[in-house]
A and B are shown apart, each in its own frame.
Chain A
Amino acid sequence: NAGVTQTPKFRVLKTGQSMTLLCAQDMNHEYMYWYRQDPGMGLRLIHYSVGEGTTAKGEVPDGYNVSRLKKQNFLLGLESAAPSQTSVYFCASSLRVLFDEQFFGPGTRLTVL
């Protein structure tokens, strides 16, 4: 089992460029999440999904879009990157939301110039 994988690991963008971050899990989990981690801010939830074909907004959704076309994949898109989106992005998945822990990917470090 690979667990949760994220692609790419690092990326540098210019302001206004777009990109998609890919998250994949092989644990047949229903729930998937995208977070951003900034110094002193802890983890903040961007979007999440409670199953294939469903998505919902988290705490900081502005400037991001997501899609969950397949159960194992959760994509995070930045349509027009801004320097404020410079961060480390983590994907996570869980079997159930209430009792089960989240499994995290290794993260994607994104810099927007």
Chain B
Amino acid sequence: GDSVTQMEGPVTLSEEAFLTINCTYTATGYPSLFWYVQYPGEGLQLLLKATKADDKGSNKGFEATYRKETTSFHLEKGSVQVSDSAVYFCALTLASGGSYIPTFGRGTSLIVHP
């Protein structure tokens, strides 16, 4: 079945450091790919998305490129801030054979120190 694998955390960085959170997927077909962020005590909210190969999603300084050849959607940010501390989830959606089940990775916790 479809699956999403993301790097285990926590990822601990100093403020202004470069961030990469790896995400790879397995899917039959052409999924849409998403990154969600969850701040403590809150629900998930969309960070960025890409719906076809080579698309780049971007928001709030975060970027991710849909790489079909490597089945990856890695999240990057050039300079993290303390306020970026949160849990980040990679996810895919794929409508296949009447099934509409979204698939999420297990989440990666990011801790940014001043």
Q: At the interface, yes or no: B82 with Cβ under 8 Å from chain A?
A: no
Within the complex, what minimum Cβ distance (angstroms) separates A49 from chain B?
Answer: 10
A45 touches B102 (CB 8 A): yes
B101 touches A59 (CB 8 A): yes
Q: How many residues of A contact B (CB 8 A)?
A: 25
Q: In whole angstroms, how far apart are the Cα atoms of A31 and B34 in the complex?
A: 17
Q: At the interface, yes or no: A77 with Cβ under 8 Å from chain B?
A: no
Nearest residue in A to B94 (C-beta to C-beta)?
A98
Could you list which residues of chain B lie within 8 angstroms of chain A, going by C-beta atoms? 32, 34, 36, 42-46, 49, 51, 89, 93-95, 100-102, 104-107
Sort A-B residue pairs by CB-CB distance and give the 4 closest, nearest first. Answer: A104-B43, A42-B106, A101-B46, A97-B100
Could you list which residues of chain A lie within 8 angstroms of chain B, going by C-beta atoms? 4, 31, 33, 40-43, 45, 48, 50, 56, 58-59, 90, 92, 97-99, 101-107
Nearest residue in A to B99 (C-beta to C-beta)?
A56
